[in-house]
Structure 1
């Protein structure tokens, strides 16, 4: 098997996931992996691409579930507005925004497998959205009223770059929300807490069965 075409990538996703509802967003159905470690190895072996990005798209991470839940419960945050979902992964947050009535939704991820997973998952939920593979960190010309980011502070170098950029977008007048399950590199002192959830997670991924997960807002100008 190769990853040369959309059909190949979609076949790989379909063969290695099942369609299920994430525990904290039962309204949604997503292609998700049930065996974390096996898929990590299978991705490298089957595609013959050592060093391929880990399949973050195959899991409903706690930060994304919390942010999606927050949006579904408060559709007025995105209804009639343009939404940009950064590091979209499975697309759970972008899809929630579409279901909540956003005028347009762009799901951004640099992993081409994520883009195909997002497209498949959007179709499962009857949501229309755009996808983008561009590296947008640092860009302040994002065409959106609301910027969303689920669980992006798991690595120190990336967390610093991303949160500086998100803070700049907020200072420019956009509503910027982030979902985070207590990652070490989240700059809590720069954020306003909006909600806290107890999210069921995979012990293989998180070394826990439940993660206390918060939704935060970057203060605007």
Structure 2
């Protein structure tokens, strides 16, 4: 009788089927990323997540812009406590840790993302605490990359970020649902979206306090 098939854990699948490689725009950071041979779609289907976008599998343009901004301005996180909100692969949090942040946590509800973040953090020699959600922790800075990608999520995300008692930095490639009237742009980079392909413009923004601007 043939042995029964045991599906790999998320950690085993990522380690065994993804490629750990440096990012073109930040060669000092390595991420596990899928290749055409990884079988990611099949893995997600086996877990009942067919059709769901695996945000954790890629370095998106907003996170890339934040990673470059922290490379250029490490003083904004050095010695501080930082949260990577909607962390995905953990790219922004890793960049913060490499820039000298004292503590970094990743706020991310997807358990598959937790596996990716843990592996990516380990590959870069940094420590990132994992949080599934809940009230924002007491920290010094929030990094929010690629969190305004549809109108429902954008509204929910803005409402949460407005409760922050600390500054919020947003990274986004000028998506349609980005609440521009609530943001002040402070930087712009040309970066590859999803970690490859053609470069796109991506901005870094600060979130204005709720009583200093109009919602939009």
Q: What's the counterpart of residue 94 of structure 1?
A: 93
Q: What's the counterpart of residue 70 of structure 2?
A: 71
- Secondary structure of 2:32's aligned partner: strand
Q: Residue 89 of structure 1: CA displacement?
A: 0.8
Q: What's the counterpart of residue 184 of structure 2?
A: 192
Give the total of aligned pairs: 205
Structure 1: stretches of 5+ with no match in the other structure: none
- Secondary structure of 2:125's aligned partner: coil
Deviations 1:118-137 (A, max 9, x none): 11111111101211123x3x
TM-score (norm 2): 0.87
Task: Quote the Cα distance in structure 2 between the aligned partners of 1:163 and 1:23.
Answer: 30
Q: What's the counterpart of residue 113 of structure 2?
A: 114
Q: What's the counterpart of residue 28 of structure 1?
A: 29
- Secondary structure of 2:162's aligned partner: helix
Query: Larger Cα Rg: Structure 1 or Structure 2?
Result: 2
Q: What's the counterpart of residue 202 of structure 2?
A: 213
Q: Residue 43 of structure 1: CA displacement?
A: 2.7
* Contact 2:17 2:38 (C-alpha < 8 Å) held by counterparts: no
TM-score (norm 1): 0.85
Structure 1 segments (4+ residues) deviating >3 Å: 35-38, 50-53
Structure 2: stretches of 5+ with no match in the other structure: 1-5, 212-216
Q: Residue 53 of structure 1: CA displacement?
A: 4.1
Q: What's the counterpart of residue 178 of structure 1?
A: 170
- Secondary structure of 2:59's aligned partner: coil
Q: Residue 116 of structure 1: CA displacement?
A: 1.0
Q: What's the counterpart of residue 127 of structure 1?
A: 126
Task: Quote the Cα distance in structure 2 between the aligned partners of 1:127 and 1:147.
Answer: 18
Q: What's the counterpart of residue 82 of structure 1?
A: 81
Task: Quote the Cα distance in structure 2 between the aligned partners of 1:92 and 1:48.
Answer: 24
Give the 3 Å change call, closer, same or farther, for CA 12–52 of structure 1 in structure 2: farther
Is residue 146 from structure 1 mapped to residue 138 from structure 2 by the alignment? no
Aligned-CA RMSD value: 2.2
Q: What's the counterpart of residue 156 of structure 2?
A: 161
Q: Residue 82 of structure 1: CA displacement?
A: 0.6
- Secondary structure of 2:66's aligned partner: helix
- Secondary structure of 1:12's aligned partner: helix
